[in-house]
Amino acid sequence: MQQKPSLSALTWVKQAESEVGVVSHTSDLANIYEYFSFSPIWHDYRAKDELETQINIISLAGLSEDFEWRALMLRDLRSSGDWRAYDVFATDSLLALTRYIDGIPTHGKSWFFGTDITDDLPPPTLTKINGLVAAGSRNQLFDYVFKLRPDTPQYREMAKAIVKLQDVEQRYWPKFAQGGLIRPGKELDDADSLITSLERHGVLSGTEAQRLKIAQVSDYNATLVGAVKRFQARHGLKEDGVIGNKTRQWLNKSVNARIQILALNMERLRLWPTERSKIILVNIPNYEMELWIDSELVLDSKVVVGRPSRRTPLFDSRLDSVVFNPSWNVPVTIMRKDILPKARQDNEYLSKHSYTVLSSWVNGDVIPHSDIDWDNVTDRNFPYRLQQSPGDFNALGRYKFNTPNGNAIYLHDTPAKSLFSKERRAFSSGCIRVQKAETLAQVLLSRSGLEFGDYDYYRQHLETKWVTLRQKVAVHTIYQTAWVNGEGNVEFRSDVYHYDARPKRTLTSLGAVAANNPTF
């Protein structure tokens, strides 16, 4: 369907507008409604619910003033009883939704990570318009709209979590204001506020909360400590039961802020791969890596990711080889910022850490450390390159997992094992350090029909060995600060790169996702 609409069809659409200029796709709407003889196409309440749900989620995420306004208008027009105004605006909003979705491959990594939808969206495609018309003709509009969701059960589960939070939002949620470190047994200034907060967060049952209040508990007892540990686990915090600044900040995170984080992460689902046939996923703010094979999680591991000043990028690649005992060609930025300042202060630093100085990367000559004129070279004009020899102290450890990409980012082992015990593990210069690197190598080699034992020699000696995998493994880094776990509980993570922050909005409604919405 692509033709110039008739004047009568254009007039009908303009007359159907609740206000002048409300619709954005006048010509497309005129063609669509002329095809349907100016009859309503939104017969199925489920299709209305599904459209409004997806528009509302974008609105709640704080991504676009246009979608915030559409969420309000859809709700108001639906309750107005004016079928023409609602029907036309719903179709207009559906076209806007398809344009938004079509723009995600190009703009999503900008929109969902701290910026705003300010780019001009691509016009509705003929394929999408014809699909809409075909679905409307067969009374299958609900199916058409439903298929615009991210293809993962997480979307539904997170929408249900938002509904629960919106129910709670109507009730008073006390702040827990007591400062300092609160350890087990400490006297509480306002025990009831903590009890209520833990109950609202779903880590303390209503029965237990009532019992504690009736007993007028005033100390930080074992029951409350257990609830706080469960709360800490759901927020990626150290599960020690001690209430410090981080735990207190999450306890006092507003309901609206949690809803916005959930909605934003629901939209991020549109970016991430859904297949699990053979893939490595690294969730940066969770500091975790998963290896999926044949839709089965075969390995998970803690990881260290880039510090905020040297962020691990969002990228996708394919892991094509495992390197035993890799040498490390030091990137120029790391050489200048991290290594050379130390080498200038300690003449033995390069030797102590097994660095070889090369005249260049291409057939470079080895430059003796004693030949470097430290009095006349600076960190910026250092004319050589550094390579660290294989070994236990090599920055890449004993295993490197090659993932060709434009950012020169890869997964690798590390000698700094103590970092994996940290709650916050953003310490690298961008690459991803894997705690279970040896296990990952074993699994990858065995799945390629190779025996890990055949490479015992390389584990025991410092000779570098590249092993090409027969089947490459997809690798994706993602950034998900909220999700629903297998037990149906919402998990949140700290926004290490400050990607969750959104521009301030003039509209704030943000329409409720209907609690009884059957599309959930």
Nearest 5°: phi and psi at 279?
-155, 145
Distances (CA, A) of 513 to 232, 264, 365: 27, 14, 66
d(CA 213, CA 497): 39
498 a catalytic residue: no
Residue 107 near residue 116, CB atoms below 8 Å? no
For 508, what's the count of Cα atoms within 13 Å in the CB-facing half-sphere?
4
**Among the options 43, 353, 412, 461, which is catalytic?**
412
Describe the crossing of helices 191-200 and 222-234 by its angle, rounded to 10 degrees.
Answer: 40
431 a catalytic residue: yes
Separation of first and last alpha carbons in the chain: 32
Residue 165 near residue 258, CB atoms below 8 Å? yes
d(CA 330, CA 400): 14
**Among the options 43, 353, 431, 461, which is catalytic?**
431
d(CA 414, CA 394): 8
d(CA 75, CA 89): 11
d(CA 230, CA 221): 15
Distances (CA, A) of 345 to 340, 353, 440, 490: 9, 14, 38, 49
For every residue of 31-55, DSSP letters joined together read: HHHHHTTT------HHHHHHHHHHH
Catalytic residues: 412, 431
